[in-house]
Chain A
């Protein structure tokens, strides 16, 4: 792999940037691998990378029906934070946050991780009580978190309407300074390039059409490019996880919903942090390109259509204008949707399944991007050892029968 550096940039400038090597190969599928990862998004590619790097398992294929990072990795609002309420979830997302902090160096790819802080606003007394509870829980788990009053919020975001005449006045917020944003595509490309350099085969335009299962043990997949065999298979397919589970003969407690986001025309720098509000229901940040990146809730109905509904756009923008009257005349540039697999307790599923050798990593719902490195890291360890990593263990599918849910719904400052 050609290492990226400032020096390399200067060197290639001399030849008009015409001789950069391709970031990854385009191999033909082998008949057999040690591990197959189904799904070439951020989580799947991270899993492949950590399998190769940390566990020395390099005979790995990532099978992707479209192109790398073309699903929810390309469609999210790039927010990274770890201020989750419950110990289990906090451990998982904070594990991820620590990996984010060294990620660009680790994979030699600038993922533009910018720790510009995240505010979760409170607009009611109950919001503020929940925020205090969550911040205290975060601090006990070693996660940086503060409670701010309205004046404190106003200092960080001068353009936010913190006045008393707002319909839902801002009473305060939780503030995580280490949180921020990252460049979503670069995360997928960086992991892909690093995994490829370690020998992982990235198979694009290869769609899994079924599983090969004998005596309750998986031993391969059927694809549109022929059968590929492996005794260990990890499915990391977000919105389509339910479809794959059905192919393997079991059900998941997931429902797939469209979640949309939109960006405005590019503006001069005006917002240097991330503002989320659960109560008026919207979140916003400004990308390095200058566009405001805006998101909000899912459409309430099931859907695989990768597009959102107009009423949701309207509600989202109402919330943004409520918080930022200054943006009322900003024009929106693009709008799109991704398919999120939501779990009843708003926590992911990292789990063995009724089929031996088949593992699922899904159910990240509306908040999977922030967990990309951590999810890949613990899932790779689980695939390598055949037993779930201690951080992943509480997220087993069994919790929906035992009742040991990790109920982050409404608790995590999540704008669902």
Chain B
């Protein structure tokens, strides 16, 4: 059973108050009409599925109902940090910049990450 620190409530709460919502930091293409099928398919369906450190979106479903990010290890399940939407993780897989943290101005690059 996880105990998850909600960065908005600023409290540790039980796992059952939360729902995982998949990979974090996925940037929606600014102009979907301009995407190729490949770019749009990548955005919709292709995900990092690392065996190791993973950045995820969770929602405090029966608490404050806000979305936030969690950095978690997918083998040990250890929660390494939680942080608010719009912030960047401080724990990342080496090499220093993980693929999934791409949030450059270049939207296309974001799509591919």
A-side residues, CB < 8 A to B, are 240, 242-243, 251-256, 300-305, 309-311, 344, 400-403
Contact, CB under 8 Å: B49 / A305: no
Contact of A402 among B37, B74, B77 (CB under 8 A): B37
List residues of chain B with CB within 8 A of the CB of A344: 44-45
A304 to B42, CA, bound (A): 23
Contact, CB under 8 Å: B1 / A310: yes
Least CB distance, B18 to chain A, in whole angstroms? 9
A240 to B54, CA, bound (A): 15
List residues of chain A with CB within 8 A of the CB of B97: none
Question: Which residues from 4 to 35 on chain B have a C-beta closer than 8 Å to any C-beta of chain A?
Answer: 15-16, 19-20, 22
Contact, CB under 8 Å: A252 / B49: yes
List residues of chain B with CB within 8 A of the CB of A305: 74-77
Known A252-B46, A309-B15, A311-B15; contact A304-B41, beta-carbon cutoff 8 A: no
A242 to B99, CA, bound (A): 14
The number of residues on chain B lying at the interface, defined by a beta carbon within 8 Å of a beta carbon of chain A, is 27
Contact of B47 among A255, A301, A311, A401 (CB under 8 A): A255
List residues of chain B with CB within 8 A of the CB of A309: 1-2, 15
Contact, CB under 8 Å: A400 / B20: no
List residues of chain A with CB within 8 A of the CB of B56: 301-302
Contact, CB under 8 Å: B74 / A303: yes
Least CB distance, B48 to chain A, in whole angstroms? 8
Contact, CB under 8 Å: B51 / A240: yes
Contact of A304 among B1, B44, B51 (CB under 8 A): B51
A243 to B48, CA, bound (A): 10
Closest A residue to B41 by CB, please name it. A401
A402 to B76, CA, bound (A): 36
List residues of chain B with CB within 8 A of the CB of A243: 49, 51
Question: Which residues from 42 to 83 on chain B have a C-beta closer than 8 Å to any C-beta of chain A?
Answer: 42, 44-51, 54, 56, 72, 74-77
List residues of chain B with CB within 8 A of the CB of A311: 1, 15-16
* Closest A-B pairs by Cβ, 3 of them: A242-B49, A401-B41, A253-B45
List residues of chain A with CB within 8 A of the CB of B22: 255
B-side residues, CB < 8 A to A, are 1-2, 15-16, 19-20, 22, 37-38, 40-42, 44-51, 54, 56, 72, 74-77
Contact, CB under 8 Å: B75 / A304: yes
Closest B residue to A245 by CB, please name it. B49
Least CB distance, A248 to chain B, in whole angstroms? 14
Contact, CB under 8 Å: A302 / B49: yes
List residues of chain A with CB within 8 A of the CB of B48: 251
Contact, CB under 8 Å: B49 / A255: yes
Closest B residue to A343 by CB, please name it. B45
List residues of chain A with CB within 8 A of the CB of B19: 300
**Could you list some 15 contacts between A and B, CB below 8 A?**
A242-B50, A251-B48, A255-B22, A255-B47, A255-B49, A256-B74, A302-B54, A302-B74, A303-B74, A309-B15, A344-B45, A400-B44, A401-B38, A401-B40, A403-B41
List residues of chain A with CB within 8 A of the CB of B41: 253, 400-403
Contact of A254 among B1, B40, B47, B74 (CB under 8 A): B47
Least CB distance, A340 to chain B, in whole angstroms? 12
Contact, CB under 8 Å: A301 / B72: yes
List residues of chain B with CB within 8 A of the CB of A255: 22, 47, 49
Scoring B41, B72, B75 by chain A CB atoms within 10 A of each residue's CB, the highest score goes to B41
Contact of B46 among A251, A256, A310, A403 (CB under 8 A): A251
A344 to B41, CA, bound (A): 11
List residues of chain B with CB within 8 A of the CB of A403: 37, 41
Least CB distance, B62 to chain A, in whole angstroms? 13
List residues of chain A with CB within 8 A of the CB of B50: 242
Least CB distance, B33 to chain A, in whole angstroms? 15
List residues of chain A with CB within 8 A of the CB of B47: 251, 253-255
Contact, CB under 8 Å: A400 / B46: yes
List residues of chain B with CB within 8 A of the CB of A240: 51
Closest A residue to B21 by CB, please name it. A300
Least CB distance, B71 to chain A, in whole angstroms? 12
Least CB distance, A299 to chain B, in whole angstroms? 8
Least CB distance, A343 to chain B, in whole angstroms? 8
List residues of chain A with CB within 8 A of the CB of B51: 240, 242-243, 256, 304
A344 to B1, CA, bound (A): 26
